[in-house]
Amino acid sequence: MEIIFDDTAVKTRLYPFTSTRSAADIRIGILTIREKWDFILSRLNAESSLTDLNITANIIPTKNYVEAFVLPETQQVNVDEDDMQTLLHPWDIFLLNDWALRKDFELITAGRKSQPIPVSNSITGADNIFIEEGAVVEFCTINAVTGPVYLGKNSLIMEGTVIRGPFALCEGAVVKMGAKIYGATTIGPFSVVGGEIKNSVIMGYSNKAHDGYLGDSVIGEWCNLGAGTTNSNIKNSAGFIKVWDNNSNAYLQVGLKCGLLMGDYSRTAINTRFNTGTMVGVCCNITEEGFPPKYIPCFTWGKEKYIFNKALEHIGNWKKLKNQELTDNEIEQLQSIYNQ
């Protein structure tokens, strides 16, 4: 059953992350939006109750929100602001991640028992930590008083790491030795991270494996941030930050903090430095000296256009490192983006 649809305006507003996926497949919190719907509906046994609904893919559901649709009218629950949020801009992904992490943690862990926390760790707020089967964490410091900490199946946190919740490490992801991670941060499946990270979402299969700062940022899938890559997340004037908006083809004022928004398959050279509010499209290879532009279009190599066949070759190489391959559908999708 498919109740979710992609509105064209939503796809345009959430660029670059909707260039390569439905808005429903954006990861925010622990799960993608689609996974949240599937999880909640299965819990409520409510799939058949929603067959007549068309729900835009940028709506982030909670159990209360879904119950407001599926229960008989006389029993409907009241839905308030805490029960539903909507992604209107790409920077909303990190702005709403704290809320989404807490909601997903409550949803996923309800009625379940965590794997035991190894005694080698220094823990505060143990009741707010959930460890899935196969996850490994030893000789680390975790503060879950500030927010829940979720460690996904077969994930790994190496020794010396310091984590302050809310935080999610999804299936198969790795945090390298001595990393410092502040909430609200999500590390998507099979990603590898190190250095300092704060209030950021890495959607999956991406690497920020070395030192450098990533803050108030969103990184798509299959990205690689070279050693020392760092972003600014606040202006020296402490003034409002403007970010490129694909819907209006103009820069919009987004708030006092915003770092890097990077589409799928993009990569940086070592010691790359990003200004506040930088947006990078799909499949860019960033090799600039000094600060790159604040808006980098899709398929950019340095200051040139990425040759399409070379781009596919390089993506394929990166996928092989994680035992994956480019599919025909992905190639067709990338060709369409390239042609635009």
How do residues 37-88 score in pLDDT, each as one tens digit? Answer: 999 988 877 655 555 567 889 999 998 888 877 665 545 667 777 888 999 9
Mean per-residue pLDDT for 261-289? 96
Contact present, 83 and 254 (Cβ < 8 Å): no
Does residue 19 lie in a domain region? yes
pTM for the complete prediction?
Answer: 0.94
Other CB atoms within 10 A of residue 33 CB: 24
Task: Let me know: does 267 contact 206? Beta carbons within 8 Å.
Answer: no
Residue 55 lies in a domain: yes
Please state, as a whole number, how many other Cβ atoms lie within 10 Å of the Cβ of residue 202.
29
Residue 211: pLDDT over 60: yes
In a domain, 265, yes or no: no
**Range 116-133 average pLDDT:** 98
In a domain, 65, yes or no: yes
**Residue 98 belongs to what domain range?**
4-108
As for how many domains the chain has, the answer is 1
Residue 91 lies in a domain: yes
71 located within any domain: yes
Name the residue among 263, 266, 198, 283 with its Cα closest to residue 232: 198
The answer to which of 101-105, 201-205, 246-250, 322-326 has the lowest mean pLDDT is 246-250
What SS3 state is found at 152? coil
In degrees rounded to 5, what are phi and psi of residue 133?
-60, 135
Distances, alpha carbon 197 to alpha carbons 233, 302, 316, in Å = 11, 25, 27
DSSP 163-184: EESSEEE-TT-EE-TT-EEESS
pLDDT digit string, tens, across residues 149-181: 999 999 999 999 999 999 999 999 999 999 999
Give the DSSP H or E segment for 69. helix 63-70
Q: Are 31 and 39 spatial neighbours (Cβ–Cβ below 8 Å)?
A: yes
Mean pLDDT, the chain, rounded, equals 93
Tell me phi and psi for residue 215, to 5 degrees.
Answer: -140, 140
Which of 287, 296, 339 has its CA nearest to residue 314? Answer: 287
Can you say how many angstroms the Cα of residue 241 is from the centroid of all Cα atoms in its chain?
A: 21
**Residue 43 belongs to some domain of the structure:** yes
Neighbours of 81 (CB within 10 A): 7
Residues whose CB falls within 8 Å of the CB of residue 110, separated by 6 or more in sequence, listed in order:
none
Residue 62 belongs to some domain of the structure: yes
